[in-house]
Amino acid sequence: MLKAVNQLGKEFLLMDFSIQQISHLRSTENFLCPICKEGVLVKAGAKVVPHFAHKPHSMCVNASTGEGNYHERGKIHLFKWFKSQGYNVALEAYIPEINQRPDIFLTINKRKIAIEYQCCRISPEMMLARTRGYKRYGIIPIWILGGNRLNRKRTNTSSFSSFDQLFFHQFQSNSPMSVYYYCPDAKQFSIFQNPYPISKTKMIGTFDFYPIQFINFPQLLNLQNNFSPNVLLDIWLKEKHSFRKRPHYIIKASRAYSFHQYLYLRGYHASLLPSIIHLPIPNLSPNEEPYSWQARWVIEHLLPLPLGERINVIDSPTMRYPLLNKQPKPQLAYARLLTKIGLLKHIQGNIFEKRREVQFPRTLHDGIKQDEELIKLLKSTIKEQLESEE
């Protein structure tokens, strides 16, 4: 914690003092936690941000979360950043009504915003409870992850644990899903948007990087990086290629075991699946590989459906994302994509009609060719759509 009070209730932010001043304060003041009013210790040295700490085993909501120096430095940067933009901002403000203490608390006219800067893993339940607490009290929660949590794999690929996937924000139903990171070492925000999962943890999307002095808070929240469909589909074609050629041994220890067993028991093989399985759907799916649910949906619902018959596409959410304005509907998005390539026709709402039979490749070579043709078709339908919108 960065803030404490003395016995008269006067607030002290240790970061405002020099090392000499701090050692003087240490001998003249008795510092208390502003929340539980217990005595706290001064921690200062050459390598740490000067801060206060509760005595061990404190149950106070303000007690150290063990997030360390990296977290404290980032928190100070963010606090100063808000302050420099003229916001009414408080560091480690305690909200007694909900017994929560956000890292930074903003008041903009009548709107209240809690900024949580999260660098270490906490339990998902704790994250959900804190988010709910703010919302119930009419406070907008915004979680910024520590840059140390960013796990970028390639230009457009990043990896997210199921915990990190909770931090996708979407403020309006038409704004992109976004995760915000801040790194106090690089003094920079990193923003990941437009997630298209290729596995339970790996996602394709867009990255933006902004040094903290070159972006303000409204710009950060309104950032909208449009993913060029051609770039996305080019990456996807490569992914489809490696998916088809991946050695698909049925090994009991592997994560993919149940998927391949599922196919095997029904007489299918992953390398000879129709091209429509494993397509980019903007969605989050920490519980199942995207190709796995797409294969199940095609095999169980689409294949048995006679031509001209209708199907009601219903998404059963397996997980709720607390910071999204609307929950993802991957199956509906998938049906819409199949509509673009003429396999389905949209009737109304969630009702679609089957217009064409699903094509299976006979050989691996055949499959690769069909994948290429499908991606080409998707590119041209998207292009036509963009042109007709102009």
Residues 51-80 that bind Zn ion (CB under 5 A): 60, 62
4 binds Zn ion (CB under 5 A): no
Residue 189 burial by Cβ neighbours in a 10 Å radius (0-12, 13-18, 19+): buried
Q: Which is nearer to Zn ion, 62 or 190 (CB)?
A: 62
Task: Tell me how far, at minimum, the Cβ of 134 lies from Zn ion, in Å.
Answer: 20
Task: Tell me how far, at minimum, the Cβ of 133 lies from Zn ion, in Å.
Answer: 18
100 binds Zn ion (CB under 5 A): no
Q: Are 302 and 342 in contact (CB under 8 A)?
A: no
Please, which residues bridge with residue 63 across strands? none
Q: Are 139 and 114 in contact (CB under 8 A)?
A: yes
Q: Which is nearer to Zn ion, 33 or 375 (CB)?
A: 33
36 binds Zn ion (CB under 5 A): yes
Q: Are 325 and 172 in contact (CB under 8 A)?
A: yes
Task: Tell me how far, at minimum, the Cβ of 70 lies from Zn ion, in Å.
Answer: 22
The window from 25-33, 221-229, 265-273, 286-294 that contacts Zn ion (CB under 5 A) reads 25-33
Q: Which is nearer to Zn ion, 8 or 307 (CB)?
A: 8
> Residue 44 carries which DSSP code?
-
Task: Tell me how far, at minimum, the Cβ of 57 lies from Zn ion, in Å.
Answer: 12
Task: Tell me how far, at minimum, the Cβ of 331 lies from Zn ion, in Å.
Answer: 47
Please, which residues bridge with residue 142 across strands? 115
Q: Which is nearer to Zn ion, 62 or 285 (CB)?
A: 62
HEC profile for 79-138? HHHHHHCCCEEEECCCECCCCECCCEEEEECCEEEEEEEECCCCCHHHHHHHHHHHHHCC
CA–CA separation, 69 vs 86, rounded Å? 26
The window from 35-43, 64-72, 225-233, 252-260 that contacts Zn ion (CB under 5 A) reads 35-43
Q: Which is nearer to Zn ion, 3 or 278 (CB)?
A: 3
Q: Which is nearer to Zn ion, 62 or 294 (CB)?
A: 62
Task: Tell me how far, at minimum, the Cβ of 37 lies from Zn ion, in Å.
Answer: 7
Task: Tell me how far, at minimum, the Cβ of 56 lies from Zn ion, in Å.
Answer: 13
Q: Which is nearer to Zn ion, 94 or 291 (CB)?
A: 94
341 binds Zn ion (CB under 5 A): no
Q: Which is nearer to Zn ion, 51 or 278 (CB)?
A: 51
The alpha carbon dihedral of 288, 289, 293, 296 has a sign of: negative
CA–CA separation, 313 vs 345, rounded Å? 12
Q: 81, 214, 206, 51: which is closest to 144 by C-alpha?
A: 81
CA–CA separation, 147 vs 160, rounded Å? 13
35 binds Zn ion (CB under 5 A): yes
Near Zn ion by CB under 5 A: residue from 33, 89, 127, 313: 33
Q: 194, 357, 162, 362: which is closest to 282 by C-alpha?
A: 194
Q: Which residues make up the interface to Zn ion (CB under 5 A)? A: 33, 35-36, 60, 62
